[in-house]
């Protein structure tokens, strides 16, 4: 026991010294296998957005298998959920096709005996690190010795649970660091990326497109008669409208696309590897979704890299001029920058 506690002290600083979640998870599983001596280790974390517990990182198990494990947090019979809710460690002896483990290693179907230990990833009660992050626990660490059948004893659970608490603090620190960084690049009202980060994203996309000789598209979107809307319904209603419009944009774009609030009632969307047809179809989908709600309309301009600009200023200017062309033609339209060249 004393040796294992010494191992915790010697290894915990390594996971606490990083603020990168992936690096922390890698170090946790590496420590469990190399220093604690378990054959395999898996980390399951809660995904609050999707309401699932999912496999995030492992040692001794193929990555593609781990990432397929997703268990709904509404499944009351889930052993992982039980461990988190009750904040207790579980030791399973001589596992043999245990039905409660099918969710953990269902892709491998190798539960032919051997011991397994599962411990919650939860901060100690005396620390405030996890307050507001994951009061009900971040997830579960699972370790086993299925191949060698080497015993895992109740005595092994004590240092394992202590190490899991250090892991929880490290994961919470990484999450908070990520949230602080996100606040710096996010528009507070809409939740989209802000003006400054838009320019950074656009510069990066131009560099990527140039390197790989790819096209991409830029949408510039402006609310029609927004000043009249504000004057009629008030600025609070205007703020709610901007927030709702951002939601509509998010619902209509891909995960690889980047939506930003450019300023005031103007928005931009960067569409990687999207040609003129794909950009126009997406812009029309956004325009129609907004129009069909009946409250306001938008005008959208489209610029294509590299035809309409090879540097950020040129591409923004092209999309902006296309947007004003849409307004001059009567609003509630989508126009292309190449229409200005004719």
User: Tokens for 250?
Assistant: 């998010």
Identify whether 105 is part of a domain. Answer: yes
- The residue segments making up the domain with residue 290 are 195-340
Packed helices 154-185 and 195-212: angle between N→C axes, nearest 10 degrees: 100
Q: Which two tokens stand for residue 187?
A: 């528009």
Q: Would you call 265 a catalytic residue per the annotation?
A: yes
Q: Which of 160, 184, 208 is where one domain is finished?
A: 184
Is the alpha carbon torsion for 5, 6, 10, 13 positive or negative? positive
Q: Are residues 216 and 172 in the same domain?
A: no
pLDDT, tens digit only, all 342 positions of the chain: 666 667 777 778 888 889 999 999 999 999 999 999 999 999 999 888 888 889 999 999 888 888 888 888 887 778 888 898 888 999 988 776 565 665 555 445 455 568 899 999 987 765 555 555 555 568 999 999 988 888 999 989 999 999 999 999 999 899 889 889 999 999 999 999 999 999 999 999 999 999 999 999 999 999 999 999 999 999 999 999 999 999 999 999 999 999 999 999 999 999 999 999 999 999 999 999 999 998 999 999 999 999 999 999 999 999 999 999 999 999 999 999 999 876
- 297 three-class SS: coil
Which of 64, 13, 58 has its CA nearest to residue 39? Answer: 58
Is residue 189 included in any domain, yes or no? no
Q: Are residues 199 and 272 in the same domain?
A: yes
Measured distance CA(36)–CA(251) in Å, rounded = 46
The CATH number linked to 293 is: 3.30.70.270
Choosing from 129, 162, 184, the residue where a domain stops is 184
Is 190 among the domain residues?
A: no
Catalytic, out of 77, 247, 265, 284: 265
CA dist 57 and 33 (Å) reads 13
Same-domain status, 263 and 307: yes
Name residues whose C-beta falls within 8 Å of residue 27's C-beta, 6 or more positions apart in sequence.
Answer: 11, 14, 15, 18
The reply to whether 148 and 262 lie within a common domain is no
């Amino acid at each position: 026991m004393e040796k294992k506690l010494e191992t915790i002290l010697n290894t915990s600083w390594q996971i606490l010294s990083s603020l990168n979640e992936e690096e922390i998870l890698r170090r946790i599983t590496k420590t469990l296998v190399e220093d604690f001596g378990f054959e395999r280790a898996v980390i399951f974390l809660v995904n609050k957005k999707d309401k699932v517990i999912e496999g995030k990182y492992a040692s001794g198990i193929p990555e593609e298998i781990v990432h397929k494990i997703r268990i709904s947090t509404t499944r009351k019979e889930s052993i992982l959920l039980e461990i988190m809710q009750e904040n207790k460690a579980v030791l399973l002896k001589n596992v043999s096709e245990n039905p409660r483990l099918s969710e953990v290693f269902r892709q491998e179907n190798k539960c032919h005996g051997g011991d397994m230990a599962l411990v919650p990833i939860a901060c100690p009660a005396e620390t405030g690190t996890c307050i507001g992050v994951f009061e009900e626990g971040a997830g579960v660490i699972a370790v086993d010795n299925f191949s060698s059948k080497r015993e895992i004893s109740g005595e092994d659970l004590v240092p394992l649970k202590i190490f899991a608490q250090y892991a929880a603090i490290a994961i919470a620190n990484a999450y908070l660091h990520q949230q602080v960084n996100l606040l710096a690049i996010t528009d507070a009202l809409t939740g989209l990326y802000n003006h400054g980060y838009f320019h950074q994203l656009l510069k990066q996309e131009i560099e990527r497109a140039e390197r790989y000789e790819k096209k991409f598209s830029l949408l510039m979107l402006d609310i029609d008669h927004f000043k009249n809307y504000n004057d009629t319904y008030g600025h609070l209603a205007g703020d709610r409208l901007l927030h709702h419009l951002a939601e509509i944009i998010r619902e209509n774009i891909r995960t690889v696309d980047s939506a930003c609030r450019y300023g005031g009632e103007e928005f931009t969307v960067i569409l990687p590897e999207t040609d003129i047809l794909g950009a126009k179809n997406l812009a029309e989908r956004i325009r129609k979704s907004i129009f069909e709600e009946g409250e306001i309309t938008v005008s959208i301009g489209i610029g294509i890299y590299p035809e309409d600009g090879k540097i950020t200023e040129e591409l923004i200017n092209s999309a902006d001029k296309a947007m004003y062309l849409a307004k001059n033609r009567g609003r509630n339209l989508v126009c292309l920058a190449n229409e200005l060249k004719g």
